Amino acid sequence: MNELVWFYPQGHEAHQERGHPERPERVEVIRTGLERAGWWDRYSKFDPVTIPEHVMKRIHSPAYLNLLEMTCRRGGHLDADTYVTSASWKLAHQAAGGGVAVAEAVWNGKARRGFALTRPPGHHACHGQGMGFCLLNNIALAAEVIIQDAGARRLAIVDLDLHHGNGTQDIFWQRGDVFYLSTHQSPFYPGTGYLDETGAAEGSGCNANFPLPPGSGDMALQTVLDDLILPLLTRYQPEMILISYGFDPHWSDPLGHLLCSAEGIYAGIRRIVQLADTCCQGKVAVFLEGGYNLEAASTCSLGVTAALLNQPFTDTMGKAPYAESQAWHPMVAQARSIWGL
């Protein structure tokens, strides 16, 4: 069994817009950092798989897929923030297929952990709409394949990006076979992810949001994980954990106002990995989402990789140069009450 497998999006540089923060350098600095650490060449890279059309249409509406394809043909924007080029249709499918390949490798026992450098990112892509730099919901498509085609009964998606993954929440809102848990800055884009959003129908109680006010940092993240996310995962007993990882909670991110460090993100991923070792045979796959400071991209991704490998990590960027806010405490108390913890 491989200890870790990667997905790298070949040719992803063709998806870019001048001056846009979601740029190819985000992935390239991650790869360069992993190469310097000696990890990139040590572990296998998986090629993307082709996702069947019927699977794609279970996650995204045919109308949206048609719109996306047509917009990519001519280039332009899905909304004010979300650009596409003539290569974006192919590259979005490649990213989604790479995420599926990594998740399947972990699920089938070919690898212990996986890290998919999915670009374009995905967690804002809803059933019928792309937005927030996201075209296809990579992690949702991977979850769908593992459940519908590989036979899993319960998966968990833990979203640690700065922004709430409204697309992933939207897709699984009424389903009980995927437990979506997110901690994120709030109030902030995209304006969703509040405590009272807990799912509906069969998905009631399978959607958990823990919004953090600006200025929250490592202490808030670790408390949310230890007191809320990890107990809920233990209660749910997923057969595999997928992680939407963004490095934009880092204190240096130009678009965010959280104050997490790379060490704090490393510690958080390591806690999830340790729980996975007890409840789902260690099956964890990480999907890249957002984050826009290039030094943080490299440093945080080294920490995430170290956590997946159960290895130590040194945070070369250090703690935030500002005091962390303590305004998150009431949210945690309210969340404990809502979830009976």
Active site residues: 124
Pairing assessment for the beta strands 240-245 and 76-77 based on DSSP bridges: unpaired
Residue 221 and residue 271 in contact, taking contact as beta carbons nearer than 8 Å: no
Which residues partner with 179 through β-bridges?
Answer: 156
Please, which contacts does 193-202 make with residues 24 or more away whose CB atoms are closer than 8 Å?
Answer: 193/164, 193/165, 193/166, 193/169, 195/331, 195/334, 195/335, 195/338, 196/338, 197/169, 198/338, 199/172, 199/173, 199/174, 200/173, 200/174, 201/174, 202/174, 202/175, 202/176
Q: Are 339 and 229 in contact (CB under 8 A)?
A: no
CB 51 within 8 A of CB 115: no
| Nearest CA among 146, 262, 134, 158 for reference residue 207 | 158
Cβ contact 118:59 at 8 Å: no
d(CA 133, CA 131): 6
